[in-house]
């Protein structure tokens, strides 16, 4: 049986950033055990098309050293399709919504001031403690986005624009998602420039790649102050610290810990080469309303297309005259859009849960990894 100080389960951004921080700060006795490297960050072989996480912003400070910012997602390149109506953001169609838009922007600025403070805090304390430290954020966490929309009198703007934007960013109807999640994504979209990106995972893992084991963890037991990790390939690894960086909804199958209740959002993704119908040719990104089956259609840098729909049975002929599927992936679930609890990621006995238990998004998952590593580094010093 291999014995290490730290076992990290899961090689998405959270697990990899945790490993990187441990390595950097001199705690070198660890392994990462994961089914794959990158998790929900997957790209095509020519590195131009993202099949999972799709955009980043320049606020992703912890991930920045590993990000190549590609094409900006400009608002002028977005088209909204609603029943028979087709419109853009900055057009005559937008005029009646200007005041709602300004009210929303003010709300987003307020949220973002709190959110950036929260992010900074989560490098030192758990997300649960950081949310609870801020009554404004705690309240939003348990408020429905629809209630927030109503309070701010944004229903009409939401109906015409926000609903489709939120659908594209979180695959969920803003009437169901939490206000925190809704404001997190809406502020990224409306206050910052979103970029398509390439994540340089080889660079991220360069200093510890020999410590990554590609395998599936089946069970983890805790005996006499040690974790025993058992894998599909019959490996057994003993560790003093355990970092669970697998998708939260999978963790409960591996380790006996009570996890919160979530509502999940699903989507199916196709990467397509083909001829798109005339209506959808006008702009690079086409957004569909939350009630439609299609979610978003995006022309890629290599002139192929990414299409998202809420299930795989949709007729792609609706968007394309002719097409060939290059790759497709079921994101079931993709992520959680509503939480009924704030999860405390620091458990007893050197056990940490990192990643997207409380919030989704690459940067916040990455931060949880850095946070857990720092906690372990400090504990090792004692």
Ligand X SMILES: Cc1cc2nc3c(=O)[nH]c(=O)nc-3n(C[C@H](O)[C@H](O)[C@H](O)COP(=O)(O)OP(=O)(O)OC[C@H]3O[C@@H](n4cnc5c(N)ncnc54)[C@H](O)[C@@H]3O)c2cc1C
Q: Which residues bind ligand X (CB under 6 A)?
A: 9-15, 33-36, 39-41, 52-55, 216-217, 245-247, 250, 254, 267, 331, 334-335, 355-356, 360-362, 365
Q: Rounded distance, CA 10 to CA 32, Å?
A: 7
CB of 334 to ligand X, least distance (A): 4
DSSP state of 139: H
Q: How far is the CB of 150 from ligand X (least distance, A)?
A: 27
CB of 153 to ligand X, least distance (A): 29
Indicate the SS3 state at residue 85: strand
Phi and psi, residue 198, nearest 5°: -120, 130
Rounded least distance, CB 32 to ligand X, Å: 9
Q: By C-beta, is 155 or 266 nearer to ligand X?
A: 266
| Beta strands 262-276 and 305-309, pairing class | antiparallel
In the complex, the smallest distance separating the C-beta of residue 291 from ligand X, rounded to whole angstroms, is 20
Shortest spacing between CB 336 and ligand X, in angstroms:
10
Say if CB 171 and CB 50 are below 8 A apart: no
Structure tokens at 240: 């003093």
Q: Which is nearer to ligand X, 10 or 174 (CB)?
A: 10
Q: For residues 104 and 359, which CB has a smaller minimum distance to ligand X in the complex?
A: 359
Nearer residue to ligand X within complex by CB, 91 or 233: 233
**Distance of closest approach, residue 223 Cβ to ligand X, in angstroms:** 20
Which residues 6+ apart lie within 8 Å of 49 measured at CB? 43, 271, 300, 301, 302, 304, 306
Contact 28, 261 (CB under 8 A): no
For ligand X, the closer of residues 154 and 367 by Cβ is 367
Work out how close the CB of 94 gets to ligand X at its nearest, in angstroms, rounded to a whole number: 24
- Least distance (Å) from ligand X to the CB of residue 143? 21
| Block residue for tokens 């441990």 | 22
In Å, how far are 55, 133, 241, 372 from 237, measured between CA atoms?
A: 36, 37, 11, 20
Residue number, 154 or 298, with CB nearest to ligand X: 298
Contact predicate 307/327, CB 8 Å: no
- Biggest CA pair distance of the chain: 69
Name the DSSP class of 162. I
Q: How many residues does the chain have?
A: 382
CB of 341 to ligand X, least distance (A): 18
Please report where in the chains the tokens 């002139």 appear, as a residue: 303
Q: How far apart are the first and last CA of the chain?
A: 26
Pick the closer one to ligand X by CB: 146 or 265.
Answer: 265
Residue tagged 């005029």 (tokens): 95
Q: Smaller CB distance to ligand X: residue 97 or 335?
A: 335
Tokens representing residue 58 in the block: 């320049």
Nearer to ligand X, 154 or 366 (CB): 366
Which is nearer to ligand X, 146 or 356 (by Cβ)?
356
Long-range contacts of 101-106 (CB under 8 A, 24+ apart): 101/157, 103/152, 103/153, 103/154, 104/152, 104/154, 104/157, 104/162, 104/186, 104/190, 105/190, 105/191
């Amino acid at each position: 049986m291999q014995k290490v100080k730290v076992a990290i389960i899961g090689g998405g951004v959270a697990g990899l950033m945790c490993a990187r921080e441990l390595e950097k700060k001199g705690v070198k006795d660890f392994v990462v055990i994961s089914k794959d490297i990158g998790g929900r960050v997957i790209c095509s072989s020519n590195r131009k098309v993202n099949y999972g996480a799709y955009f980043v912003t320049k606020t992703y400070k912890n991930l920045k050293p590993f990000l190549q910012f590609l094409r900006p997602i400009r608002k002028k390149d977005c088209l909204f399709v609603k029943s028979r109506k087709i419109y853009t953001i900055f057009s005559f169609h937008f005029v009646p919504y200007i005041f709602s838009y300004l009210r929303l922007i003010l709300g987003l600025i307020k949220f973002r001031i709190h959110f950036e403070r929260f992010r900074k805090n989560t490098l030192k304390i758990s997300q649960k403690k950081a949310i609870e430290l801020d009554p404004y954020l705690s309240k939003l966490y348990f408020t429905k986005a629809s209630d927030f929309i109503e309070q701010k009198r944004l229903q009409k703007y939401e109906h015409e624009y926000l609903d489709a934007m939120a659908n594209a960013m979180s695959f969920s109807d803003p009437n169901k998602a939490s206000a925190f999640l809704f404001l997190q994504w809406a502020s990224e979209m409306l206050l910052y420039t979103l970029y398509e990106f390439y994540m340089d995972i080889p660079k991220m893992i360069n200093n510890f790649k020999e410590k990554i084991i590609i395998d599936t963890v089946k069970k983890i037991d805790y005996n006499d102050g040690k974790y025993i990790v058992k894998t599909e390939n019959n490996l057994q690894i003993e560790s003093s610290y355990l970092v669970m960086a697998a998708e939260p909804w999978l963790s409960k199958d591996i380790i006996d810990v009570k996890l919160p209740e979530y509502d999940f959002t699903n989507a199916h993704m196709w990467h397509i080469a083909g001829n798109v119908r005339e209506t959808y040719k006008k702009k690079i990104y086409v957004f569909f309303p939350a009630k439609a089956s299609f979610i978003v259609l995006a022309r890629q840098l290599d002139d192929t297309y990414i299409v998202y729909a809420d299930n795989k049975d949709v007729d792609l002929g609706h968007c394309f005259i002719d097409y060939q599927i290059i790759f497709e992936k079921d994101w079931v679930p993709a992520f959680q859009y509503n939480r009924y609890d704030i999860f405390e990621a620091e458990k007893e006995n050197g056990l940490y849960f990192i990643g997207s238990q409380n919030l989704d998004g690459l940067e916040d998952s990455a931060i949880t990894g850095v946070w857990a590593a720092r906690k372990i580094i400090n504990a090792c010093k004692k």
